[in-house]
Structure 1
Amino acid sequence: MNRTPLSEHRWLSSTYSGNNGGECVEWAPDHAALTGEVLVRDSKVPHGPHLALSRQSFAGLVSLAKTCG
């Protein structure tokens, strides 16, 4: 299992985040590629809590965001 500290991950902003006055959702694609676990966080609180989702759960979250956006 990859134990890289969260601050050392490369985080990317969601393309859907910019519509609400600023980016707010980020994910760590390199971690996902290595482990299959998708890390998601609030970009305004980079040292705060994060979600660790399966690829299937992340896909469901993205699908929900698209229908609500």
Structure 2
Amino acid sequence: MSALPRNVPASTDLHDVCWLRSSYSTGANNCVETARPRSGPWAGRLAVRDSKRPAGPALLFTAESWSGFLTAL
């Protein structure tokens, strides 16, 4: 059994997603964006990318990991 991927080298590889930005974000692109992939090996994960680099990499989190991260903040 192989491990689930933890990142995507180019977030543009996630074709079926709608990237969302925080409503607290300014127009300066100084935030992160999130998306929920529906297909591929990353389905069911939460993808997070830097809004300044929309074609850059995206980190992938399970719902539990992301929830834990937010709780820790």
Matched, 1:27 2:43: no
**TM-score (normalised: structure 2):** 0.58
Distance in 2 separating the partners of 1:7 and 1:24: 21
In the TM superposition, structure 1's runs of 4+ consecutive aligned residues that sit over 6 Å from their partners are none
Matched, 1:57 2:62: no
Q: Identity of counterpart residues, as a percentage?
A: 38
Which has the higher relative contact order, 1 or 2, with Cα contacts under 8 A spaced 6 or more apart?
A: 2
Matched, 1:13 2:21: yes
**TM-score (normalised: structure 1):** 0.60
The number of equivalent residue pairs is 58
